[in-house]
Amino acid sequence: MNDKKVRYVYISVDESLPLFVESIGYNPFEQDFNRPDGYPYYHWLQTIEGEGKFSFNGEEYILSKGKGIFLTPYTPHTYVKTSKLWSTTYITFGGASVVSIIDSLKLNCSALYTGLEHGPFAEIIKDMFLKAELDLEFSKLDLSSYLYRFLINLRKYGSFNKQPSISHLYEKVRQTVEWLEDVYAEDISLDQMAQYLNVSSQYLNRLFQATFGLSPYTFLIQLRIRKAKDILIQNPDIPLKNVAHLVGFNDVSHFVHTFRKKEGLTPKVYRELHSKSLS
């Protein structure tokens, strides 16, 4: 790895693949970061040089060389550098079979992993970067196979400090999260979410608060905004009122207000900025 920041993002992924890479990157100068809402995909962050302090589920961990953090989707977390320079590499991923694969490999909880210097992790990640650099679009299938190899070796060589409470809680809400991923555009109430999981609305709210630090409704709004961002980038000609309707907002002004509150800019400006970066 050198001193050049590298990031490959797959905006349009084939979600029918058993595993797919959503993004892969290397940051030679990692900075402080706060994700109170977590990330919508599985997330791996590993230290290459230096060290940082990583916090999730009320615990703090020193992420030095040879250590990595594996996060399940929507796990709130923060990290700050604790050395002059902190370089990291990361992978975010999902897939139609990702849950069963993660479960079968017993990787189904957010955890700190150590002993990464003993396995072929550096070689696998290097191969993934080389493949993405050669052909971003047609490397998706190859990256899926590399990702599977990476997970196998993480199970084989990595030692981890398990967080069973997060794993247990996420298992409880995962069914609802997956359902919301399919029906986010519909008019959904808290009672409907609770009925889907066959629990009370009060209990569902406690589950979401304990797992994500969010209410179910706030989680749904964030999901709709994430889907809207995808549509804005991938379909630059669709009017905002149509985008609003596609992601579950009945009123375009409410959509614009909510988007701006969450992202710090309007949907129109967001689309324009990303159109320029892609041109």
CB 47 within 8 A of CB 66: yes
Higher pLDDT, 118 or 227: 227
Structure tokens that stand for 7 in this block: 């990031």
Structural domains of the chain, ranges and CATH numbers in brackets: 6-162 (2.60.120.280), 169-278 (1.10.10.60)
Model confidence at 3, pLDDT cuts 50, 70, 90, reads confident
| Region of poorest pLDDT, from 107-116, 144-153, 175-184, 232-241 | 107-116
Whose CA is closest to 56, among 69, 40, 67?
69
CB 219 within 8 A of CB 212: yes
Q: What is the pLDDT of residue 14?
A: 73
Instruction: List, in sequence order, the alpha helices (H) in the chain.
Output: 98-104, 121-134, 140-157, 164-183, 190-197, 201-212, 216-234, 240-246, 252-263, 267-278
